[in-house]
Homo-oligomer: A and B are copies of this chain.
Amino acid sequence: MGSSEKTILVTGGAGFIGTHTVVQLLNDGYRVSIIDNLDNSVIEAVHRVKDLVGPELSQKLDFNLGDLRNRDDLEKLFSKTKFDAVIHFAGLKAVAESVVYGQPEKIPCVEDFELKAMNPYGRTKLFLEEIARDIQKAEPDWSIILLRYFNPVGAHESGKIGEDPKGIPNNLMPYIQQVAVGRLPELNVYGHDYPTKDGSAVRDYIHVMDLADGHIAAVRKLFSSENIGCIAYNLGTGSGTSVLEMVAAFEKASGKKIPIKLCPRRPGDATAVYASTEKAQKELGWKAKYGIAEMCKDQWKWASNNPWGYQSKP
């Protein structure tokens, strides 16, 4: 059975990573059902997805307004459609950074490192992994892939979809972007005395289109083998970028000056975190293609075309 006959349920499909993954799923021939409660996303994002993939592929996309925590919403959804796989994005993001490996003892972070949550948000990620492992043990015919994101940034190259956080952004790139378009006056850089190349903290930023393709590779893996159990993969680039390097790259891509303010370190922030990418490359056949130049270029295209995100005016 080809991908054209398979239907994927995407929870939280109207969000940042959700929309980009839905575009790639549709481009790859899958049918897609989204369930999203639009708590932290907007229906305009789904319209943009349809606009991007065109009228033919749009017919394979089914949007359902609903809440995963509502049993009736789920029963309606599952009685309407038979799904071949589920990609679960739905959730409320609370904290700036990827925190599941915590303050790693070594870098790069390999999948079999012990997970340490540094805050309640990280703990929810960890709980979900453990619950998924338990479900798979209880229902051994399930195949489950746990994808561990590093720091998703950038946007679709069309500039039509991208990240649109409500309120003051917590993450570096949406913050830089809002400084660049004049919505915020300057960027606070937390920590300039870390033992890194330029003193600022180092993270593994990954282009959201690479991340989306990582999900496609994972779905393919689920369908390609009879039973894979429950496996974790990092989705990162494997290389670290400092905050100041990212600011410089964004300035170059946008032609805008980003005023910064050097601030003290924040308690609990790790010095440097980046992914080991070997396992995903070997077992999913997936590797990130884009570097920080493309991340900044596409982020800026989205930002300059949509200075107020999906809203047409402030």
A: residues with CB less than 8 A from B are 120, 123, 127, 130-131, 134, 137-138
Contacts and interface: CB of A to CB of B under 8 A. Distances in A.
Nearest to A123: B130
A142 B2 CA distance: 55
A200 B138 CA distance: 28
Contacts of A127: 127, 130
Contacts of A131: 120, 123
Copies in the complex: 2
Contacts of A130: 123, 127
Contacts of A123: 130-131, 134
Contacts of A120: 131, 134, 137-138
A254 B134 CA distance: 41
Nearest to A134: B120
Contacts of A138: 120
A154 to B, nearest CB: 32
A271 B25 CA distance: 51
8 contacts: A120-B131, A120-B134, A120-B138, A123-B130, A123-B131, A123-B134, A127-B127, A127-B130
Nearest to A120: B134
Nearest to A121: B134
Nearest to A71: B69
A120 B127 CA distance: 11
A277 to B, nearest CB: 29
A134 B127 CA distance: 13
Contacts of A137: 120
A189 to B, nearest CB: 27
Nearest to A137: B120
Contacts of A134: 120, 123
A138 B121 CA distance: 12
A190 B27 CA distance: 56
Nearest to A135: B120
A127 B130 CA distance: 10
Q: Which 4 A-B pairs have the closest CB atoms?
A: A120-B134, A127-B127, A123-B130, A123-B134
A137 B123 CA distance: 14
A130 B126 CA distance: 11
A140 to B, nearest CB: 14
A134 B124 CA distance: 11
A9 to B, nearest CB: 23
Nearest to A69: B69
A74 to B, nearest CB: 14
A201 to B, nearest CB: 23
A120 B133 CA distance: 9
A180 to B, nearest CB: 33
A251 to B, nearest CB: 37
A137 B117 CA distance: 15
